[in-house]
Chains A and B, each alone.
Chain A
Amino acid sequence: MSDARPNSYSLWRHQQRLAPYLFVSPFLILFCVFGIYPIVKSLYLAFHTTNGPRSVVFTGLDNFRFLLQDPDFYAAVYNTGVFALFSVFLQLPLSLGLALLLNARWLKGRDTFRFVFFSPNLVGQVFVGVLASVIFVPRFGLVPRFLHWAMRTSIDMNLLGNPDLVMPALVGTALWMYVGYNCIYFLAALQSVDRELYEAAAVDGANAWHQFWHVTVPAIKPVALIVVIMSTLGSFQLFELPFVMMGGPGPNKAGLTIVMYLYQRGFDIGNLGYASTIGWTLALIVLVISMVQVRLSGAVRGHA
């Protein structure tokens, strides 16, 4: 009995010391296996050429050198960049406009509208992609027929077959999918703006535009910045939508995105080394953009 107390005390202390590690270990193990290991492995592969399932040959910076001269990579960066620009400069103002409408006091059935606008996001990119590929069918699809009726465009307008029209079709589909989604963020931000600020502004003689510019915009700026960052990052990860809509990069690689290019090189050709190089370059691009945005958001916060 006399020995039991120090033993149980030491066990208790031991347990106390180990407990935090035990609690975090499931996450740590999973993170190391599915997070750290793939990152390290892909960094290793980025400096190698994989040739078939087993052969890995060290090629130094060859993959990066090739990437810098690879017209397909530049096409992918260009397409992704254009899509990201539209996401930020078209999608977000539309989302904000919609949120302002939904936030209007006179609007009845706000929840229903909110659900309707958000619903494309519930079904996911694959479903939306399949649906879009059907409604864009030339001559017999809903969109070409509507455009022909409304704007006298050619009924044979091949939105997914004409390299010049692929990006507008992609952007249009993404708008349909994400405007409602981003609108929810803006709506939440708008609903948290203190009504008294508007009343005070009105007393000071501010019209609707002044109220929007001097009250609403500063109040929702933090949320807007989050939405901008998320939309940009999401745009740089674009893959499923064009992949499903066109079964690949589309005509003349007009729908080729960076992630799709990575997938093609890794899984269609089997060069995981070059795919890793593309992946790391994408990570670098996203890092730079994020840093710029974080700096901007810091500046804005400082200004506020």
Chain B
Amino acid sequence: MNTSHQTATVSSKDGATPPAPRTRRRRNVAVVAALTGILGAMGTLVYFAVPLYQLFCQVTGFGGTTQVAAKAPGAVPGRVVTVRFDTNVARDMPWQFSPPAPVEVRLGEERLVAFAAQNTGNEPMLGTATFNVTPFKVARYFNKIECFCFTEQLLMPGERKEFPVTFFVDPAIADDPNAGDVTAITLSYTFYNKGAAALDEYLNRSRATAGRAVPREMNQ
């Protein structure tokens, strides 16, 4: 009783007419819809928080995520650096792995070279490569745009394949007093055998991919 009296008093003071029941219901629906929308938006943001944060880190380099170079800034006139290449193969691999010839590059200049490997054994073999840049103090200035390291590379018996590497030397090296004496950089790769289990898994994945493609081909 008391409540209805207070409500009536307030309405009377404002001089507003109470809304019709249908209008009030419509307003209530609008409020509920708006709140549901906000809740949905918040839920979506929470759900995508991790990938969005990762994207932010990749773009800005925040949080220690390594920035993989996408493009060279372009050649800067002046200092030229010799880049040499070196190759190694693990003990149990019948692969011949050859480096490209040394190249001379200007700072900021994008350069493409190709390593080559051949499987001289009688069995298919899955390899994967590690890499190193020396002297170590200039590794931070050596940027690879395209690289074959860490990925699985299959060579059938007798097969020879080229592995391209695109790189540039960051012009910021010129501002580093510790790197002033560096005139040559060596990029080395070592191929390792991933083993029989990884090879089987790789071939099974390949067969599954081919198997999925067959019905589509037959349907056409």
Q: Do A and B come from one complex?
A: no
